[in-house]
Amino acid sequence: MHTTDTLQPEPSVFDFQTNIQNLNRYKSQGIHQIPKELLKAGDRTVRSQIHKLITSIWNKEKLPEK
């Protein structure tokens, strides 16, 4: 099957870390309802787990079940 969608690589750890550092504090939350301050305050373990979750969603193209 031919598709016109351009495949995008999954978000790298570097991109993820950079984007978290560049988040604007005290702005309204996105549709995910995760406060930016929580993401910025998370340590390496928290950020690693969030990156794994994002990568899983990216590759499966599906949100995890509860």
- pLDDT tens per residue, range 2-29: 566 667 888 898 888 888 888 876 666 6
The answer to whether position 63 is within a domain reads yes
pLDDT at 55 over 80: yes
Structural domain that includes position 65: 12-18+34-66
pTM of the prediction?
Answer: 0.66
The answer to whether position 2 is within a domain reads no
Provide the total of helices (H) and of strands (E) in the chain, helices listed first: 3, 0
Residues contacting residue 20 through CB under 8 Å, at least 6 positions apart:
39, 40, 47
Residues contacting residue 47 through CB under 8 Å, at least 6 positions apart:
16, 17, 20, 39
Q: How many residues does the chain have?
A: 66
Report d(CA 64, CA 42) in Å as an integer.
21
- The number of folded domains in the chain is 1
